Homo-oligomer: A and B are copies of this chain.
Amino acid sequence: MSQVQEAARPGLSDDELRERVLEAADRLYYGRGIQAVGMDELRTEADVPLKRLYKLFGGKDAIVAEVLRRRSALWETGVRAAVAAAATPREGLLAVYDHLARWFGETDFHGCIFINSFGELGGCSPDVAEIVRAHKAAFQDYVAALVADAGGPRALAAQLAILAEGAQTTAAIAGTPEAAAQARAAAATLIDAAGLPG
């Protein structure tokens, strides 16, 4: 058995390695913060040669941006699926908070990676700040579209989005998931007060 273990395989594709790196980076950055995780630890966790890592991504900044973009797409997919499963427009809006509740209940929940990254790097990295801003703006636009489809007033959308944001920070800091249910109840009250059809 030579010292070369992995190279015995016909050679892992670039796409496969990118996937491994991004999965590891997501897990490490989300759990401990971006600055706290060095390239060497990422290299070890993903089991990818450092040289290949730099050839595939160019540098840490690009990996961070890619991780955030993937999380954004994952979030969008998840919330859209939750909303699509609802029977009525009103329940579709409330399904957003049920989706949050499931997320908050996961054992490795550590808050919203966009809020966390913005707190960590927003003051120093315009790139990260812009990705976070775009992600949150897209969510607000999505909620606005849901509210419009449901025939609700324009002002309701911003209020519902603020409730979702507040639930995320509250649950993350408290370390408990009940903020989702509290935000859901508040959302239901706001929706009803807006005279939205049930």
Contact = CB atoms under 8 A, between A and B. Distances in A.
A179 B162 contact: yes
B173 A158 contact: no
A122 B111 CA distance: 10
B174 A36 contact: no
Interface string A111-136: 10011111111111000000011001
A164 interface: yes
Contacts of A137: 174
A185 interface: yes
A161 B173 CA distance: 13
B123 A172 contact: no
A95 interface: no
A189 interface: yes
Interface in A138-180: 155, 158-159, 161-170, 172-175, 178-179
Contact of A31 (B123, B133, B158, B190): B123
> Which residue among A31, A158, A174 has the maximum number of chain B CB atoms within 10 Å of its CB?
A158
Count the copies: 2
A32 B169 contact: no
Given A33-B120, A117-B119, A169-B115, A162 B174 contact: no
A163 B185 CA distance: 12
Contacts of A169: 115, 165-166, 168-169
A88 interface: no
Contact of A158 (B121, B159, B182): B182
Given A33-B120, A166-B166, A192-B193, 12 more contacts: A33-B121, A33-B122, A36-B123, A110-B122, A116-B120, A117-B119, A119-B119, A162-B182, A162-B183, A162-B186, A165-B170, A169-B169
